Amino acid sequence: MVERVPTAAQTFYSRLVFTINRLPAMVMPGYGAEKRFSQVKDASAPRYAVLMKMIVRWLLLAGALLLVADLYPGVSVDGFGSALFAAFLIGLFNTLVRPLLVLLTLPVTLLTLGLFLFVINALMFWAAASLLSSFHVTSFTAALIGSLLYSLCGMVIDVAVERLFNPHAV
């Protein structure tokens, strides 16, 4: 039996495929870690933990919106139910519309060294207020200040919820 020696093109192709398959792990060192440790996560955390974490975060963000309305007179919310709906709408806008706006305004964001992202956050805040009759923002400046306060509260809430649901995280 004659042993086939791979040609240079076949060797190049096999090395290219190997490199492409490893590229995500080279660019992002943690890539695939969730797959490796998924069995450990599933064994230690109940299946409803992700949903519960999302609901608790949503309730706390609605409370943060009420806090922003209490701290800054340019923002007003009629009640907790309205704050729940407004927090949901702001989260929906931040998930669906904000990435598109960030991509479209990338040159301006680079020129302003990222400060234009505050304007995008204010636009999302203002857009949610314009769609809801029970959530009011008096001006764009009020939307900018309100979104800054809401973002600060959101950062504190994210850390608190992460520590609540994952006590071993530092």
Q: How many residues does the chain have?
A: 170
pLDDT score, position 9: 58
Which residue bears the tokens 């509260």?
153
pLDDT score, position 129: 95
Taking only the tens of pLDDT, the chain with its 170 residues reads 666 766 665 665 566 555 555 544 444 444 444 444 444 444 455 667 788 889 999 999 999 999 999 999 999 999 999 999 999 999 999 999 999 999 999 999 999 999 999 999 999 999 999 999 999 999 999 999 999 999 999 999 999 998 888 877 65
How far is it, in rounded angstroms, from Cα 137 to Cα 73? Answer: 9
pTM of the model: 0.71
Q: Is 45 helix (H, G, I), strand (E, B) or coil?
A: coil
